[in-house]
Amino acid sequence: MFRRTVGFVKAVNDVSFSIRLGETLSLVGESGCGKTTTGRCIARVYNPSSGSIHYQADEGESVDLAQLDSRELRPYRRQIRMIFQDPFSSLNPRLPILQIVGESLKANRIARGSELEDRVAALLKRVGLRHEYIRRYPHAFSGGERQRIGIARALALNPKLIVADEAVSALDVSVQAQILNLMQDLQEEFNLTYLFIAHDLSVVEHISHRVAVMYVGKIVELASTDALFRSPLHPYTEALLSAVPKPDPRLRNSGVRIRLEGEVADPSNPPSGCYFHPRCPYAQDRCRHEEPAARQIRHDHWVACHFAEELELRGFEAIGSTPDVRQARARAQPSRKVPKT
Amino acid sequence: MPDDNETLLDVRDLKTHFFTDEGVVKAVDGVNLSLKRGQTLCVVGESGCGKSVTARSILRIVPAPGRIVSGEISFRQRHGDRIDLARMNPRGRDIRNIRGREISMIFQEPMSSLSPVHTIGSQIMEAILLHLPVSKAEARKRAVSLLDLVAIPRASEQLDAYSFELSGGMRQRAMIAIALACEPQLLIADEPTTALDVTTQANILDLIRELQEDSGMSVLFITHDLGVVAEIADEVVVMYLGRDVESGDVDTIFHNPKHPYTRALLQSIPRYDSRAGERLYSLKGTVPHPFYRPAGCPFHPRCDDFIAGQCNANDPQRYNFSAGHSVRCLLYVADDDRSLRDLPT
């Protein structure tokens, strides 16, 4: 929560979740729901006002990142890195790629001189860029290539956890596919854990093991990707899923679209009870007065809704894909194992 | 020029080039499209393919140093005459009578395309007073009903609101209200939902569809999101490096695409029934730099079905696959006798 002259904005309020080693957890929600703030608190770009962030360090002991001061944080900053949304504004235009990617190696006294160059060249190669590019400046690269540079920078210190904040949102669909594939390859190779922040549900569905849905600073539902997309338990999740355009004209009028009336609630002046009740088609009296607590309803499926057991919500209908897409899929590589939990 | 009454807009071989100090950028280099009355035509392609410049060429608002080099933009006016917009003086009175009156445009960024120092109401009234012989009071009444039409709540109060007081979705609704002020025949929408959340996007798409049903206007919709195309298009034009590489009706484009680029675009969308960890199909390489346009078919360096000696040497011509379905690809016109070859699968 940040201090403003006009009052407090509870950008992220009472959010609890855990990320398992080697998994991709996605945070989804509309703009202003606090997903970016959550990610930045974990990377300690922002300081949380209260709460704890437990991080399992190498030696097995768990540390609370929220309590550490900047000097104590240093070893963990190596392990938690960020990838940003806009590949144009997140790279310093006045530094060559060698410095952008190598800065953290130099600052941590890991490599310098020709060794630094070799390491940066190896990183560039790993993300699919030519090592000759090492002395070029960001303006010489396209959006997709810049995002690869951002990924190389995040990888430089062998991190454990990567917070990817809308990492593919600004990219064209063909480039987006390249970057998503690269991120999945890197996850396998280095056993990375991703906190993937996104608003595009089809991308989220593709890359995540588990998904958390946020609304006005709170997590309203958290479940495995399959469970969340097939059988959502929160009305907001249902509405989000129904709004996704389906890439097949033959399905145009097939699904029922739930129109959300009104606007996202103002986080500085949230509604009483359940924050979603003014827009919820199923809202009842209880929702106006009583705030729902997050409950585990099915195995590993958490939801904050009073009526989660009673409502019968629709999931993302199985979309009949076109024959061309099936062919492409047959050509794709075999699927990988889901990490042990 | 087409002489049937149903074709509202017909663009033939449009070329818009930018004459920069470093060289000529052929942003639009031979685009053909045709839009019927009451229909929605989607122009899709990756950034830099020239879809926005095509739209701006139609309204003659291409920024300097760009200019239309050749081609024809035939538009059927309200009273039935056909005119060639490409020949008009972009600063002249004639084109100003068409902008906002017969053809309107809405943009991607509603925040930067609305004036921050004028109220929503005064911006709508400006459009009305410019084109219609009405009094200020009548214009104000009309502005209120327009805000009602685009489902902005408390319309008469919101008329005096400034754009920064509205949310993203409401701003885009206000933009649409301005565009519809004079009941245009053609609405050009340049990525109008790209900056919006998925729930707001769904509402705006519904709104455009409803307005179109009521008024019978045509919509030229520019987007890179194939999901949106599947939702709203009647006809689709796929663009790559300033060319229309494939055009056809929406069902053909999604279920019987012929151009390797169209196929690649469709395959790279993440789909619901994919399994976790599965790799997406991805096009190799990136869109080439505008100064280094590949010879022959501009798509050949990224194409999986590239024929050496053909695709890098010959410029593919438009080939009509069936009525209304045309493709620019040498796989289908390999020989002089124009015998048809299908894509290897």
Q: Residue with structure tokens 């679209």?
A: A257
Nearest Cβ partner for A181 among B200, B226, B280: B280
Q: Which residues of A touch B271 (CB under 8 A)?
A: 202, 206, 247, 319, 321, 325
pLDDT per residue as tens digits for the range A8-33: 666 677 778 888 888 999 999 888 78
A334: confidence class by pLDDT, cuts 50, 70, 90? very low
For chain A, what are the domain ranges?
10-79+159-341
Q: Within the 227-256 window of chain B, which residues sit less than 8 Å (CB to CB) from chain A?
A: 227-231, 233, 250-251, 254-255
Q: What does the pLDDT read at residue A8?
A: 60
**Rounded CA gap, B123 and B114, in Å?**
8
- Is A106's pLDDT higher than 70? yes
Q: With CA atoms as reference, report the closest residue to B27 among B57, B3, B59.
A: B57
B131: confidence class by pLDDT, cuts 50, 70, 90? very high
Best probe of the B interface among A206, A220, A261, by most B CBs < 10 A, is A206
Measure in Å the smallest separation between the Cα of B188 and chain A Cα atoms. Answer: 20
- Check residue A34 and give left, alpha or beta (phi > 0: left; psi -120 to 50: alpha): left
Nearest Cβ partner for B277 among A145, A184, A243: A184
| Mean pLDDT confidence for B153-181 | 89
* A259 or B20, higher pLDDT: B20
Q: What does the pLDDT read at residue B288?
A: 82
Are B276 and A208 in contact by the 8 Å Cβ rule? The answer is yes
- Determine whether the interchain pair B251/A318 forms a contact, defined as Cβ–Cβ distance below 8 Å: no
- Determine whether the interchain pair A329/B345 forms a contact, defined as Cβ–Cβ distance below 8 Å: no
Q: For the domain bounded by A10-79+159-341, which CATH number is listed? A: 3.40.50.300
Are B233 and B245 in contact by the 8 Å Cβ rule? The answer is no
Q: Which residues of A touch B206 (CB under 8 A)?
A: 257, 259
Nearest Cβ partner for A177 among B170, B273, B281: B281
- Determine whether the interchain pair A205/B46 forms a contact, defined as Cβ–Cβ distance below 8 Å: no
- Determine whether the interchain pair B283/A205 forms a contact, defined as Cβ–Cβ distance below 8 Å: no
B272: confidence class by pLDDT, cuts 50, 70, 90? low
Q: With CA atoms as reference, report the closest residue to B303 among B248, B334, B259.
A: B259
Nearest Cβ partner for B269 among A202, A243, A327: A202
Q: Give the distance, in angstroms, between the CA of residue B285 and the centroid of all CA atoms in the same chain.
A: 25
- Determine whether the interchain pair B167/A322 forms a contact, defined as Cβ–Cβ distance below 8 Å: no
**Does the CB of B169 have a partner CB in chain A at under 8 Å?**
yes
Q: Which residue of B has its CA nearest to A229?
A: B272
User: What mean pLDDT value characterizes chain B?
Assistant: 88
**Rounded CA gap, A150 and A127, in Å?**
10
- Is B82's pLDDT higher than 80? yes
Q: What does the pLDDT read at residue A10?
A: 63
